[in-house]
Amino acid sequence: MDHDTDLGGPALAFPASRCSVVRAVGNPDPAIRRQAFADLVSAYWKPVYKYIRVKWSTTNDDAKDFTQAFFAHALEKDIFAPFDPARARFRTFLRSCVDGFVANAIRDSSRLKRGGGSEVLPLDFDAADAELRVQALAGRTDLDDFFRQEWVRSLFCGALDDLKQQCATAGKKMHFEIFLRYDIEGPETVPPPTYEQLAREFGLPVSQVTNYLAFARRQFRQVVLERLHGSTGSEEEFLEESGRLFGGVKP
């Protein structure tokens, strides 16, 4: 029996809900703190890097240095400790920390050399630069909006990687492939693929394409929400952001 024709199909075994890495970076246990910090960097480094490039009009080398130095400084000085979810979103708080850090660095003319005494994080700046080149940045005046959009992009890209990995582990590669063709490549294709085309391409009945897509979308949503939960500062912020992302959909 093909379980995917059952109502919803069998659910993938996803990891338990991530606790907020924002809160975990203040954990007294160094191992937890370090892991949380790594997750936080993974979620925010690209938005931070692009934001520095756009807001501060820096060269890519300077932006790379600032990004590396900012996260190294954050880890060393525990600058996220004063974050108060009652006062602002974590994203807003982080952005103001970045602004303060870059402003100080420029004022002191102490351009930080990459790797100068600090751990160098393995961040793919070339990819971020390539993205910036294809992005329509002209007319971007709302930097808060820009930073948020980059954060959403980073969140969704990470979620897509997670989904790919989890589908592969669960033996559901085709589910992911169909999702990729229809929902990721589809909006960029003219005309977008139809269910019938995908059914022919993958040798499935149309109803199965519907079921596979529904399954992948459901799991994608779950992964996005897992990641979102990890990168927001409080339950309220998580609910607000998830509502903003998905139009009021319950996490």
Partner 1 sequence: MNWLSDNVLAHLCKLDNEPDLSGTRYEMIEKIGQGGMGSVYLVRDRALDRQLALKVLNDVPSGAIVEARLEREARIIARLEHPGIVPVHDAGVLQDGRLYYAMKLVRGKRLDEWVYRATSVPERLQLFEKICDAVAFAHAHGIIHRDLKPQNIMIGPFGEVLVMDWGVAKELGQNQSVSNQSDKNGPLEASQTIQGTVVGTPGYMAPEQARGDSAVDAGSDIYSLGAILYFLLTGQAPAQAEHDPDASMPASTLIPPRRLDRSIPRPLEAICLKALSAEREGRYTEVTEFVADIASFRAGRRVRAHSESLIDAARRFGSKYRAVIALVLAYLLMRILLLIFAGF
Position among 44, 224, 228, 231 found at the interface with partner 1 (CB under 8 A): 224
Q: How far apart are the first and last CA of the chain?
A: 31
Question: Does 161 engage in binding with partner 1 (CB under 8 A)?
Answer: yes
DSSP conformation letters of 137-178 = -TT---HHHHHHHHHHHHHHHHHHHHHHHHHHHTT-HHHHHH
DSSP conformation letters of 191-208 = SPPPHHHHHHHHT--HHH
Question: Does 2 engage in binding with partner 1 (CB under 8 A)?
Answer: no
Position among 25, 48, 160, 199 found at the interface with partner 1 (CB under 8 A): 160
Residue type, 199: A
CB of 246 to partner 1, least distance (A): 5
CB of 154 to partner 1, least distance (A): 9
CB count in 10 Å sphere of residue 241? 24
Residue type, 106: I
Q: Which is nearer to partner 1, 25 or 223 (CB)?
A: 223
What is the contact mask toward partner 1 in residues 94 to 133, using x (rule: CB under 8 A)?
------------------------------x--x--xx--
Q: Name residue, tokens 């929902």.
A: 183
Tokens standing for 62? Answer: 């300077």
List contacts with partner 1 (CB under 8 A). 6-8, 124, 127, 130-131, 134, 149, 152-153, 156-157, 160-161, 164, 183-184, 186-188, 210-211, 213-215, 217-218, 220-221, 224, 239, 245-250
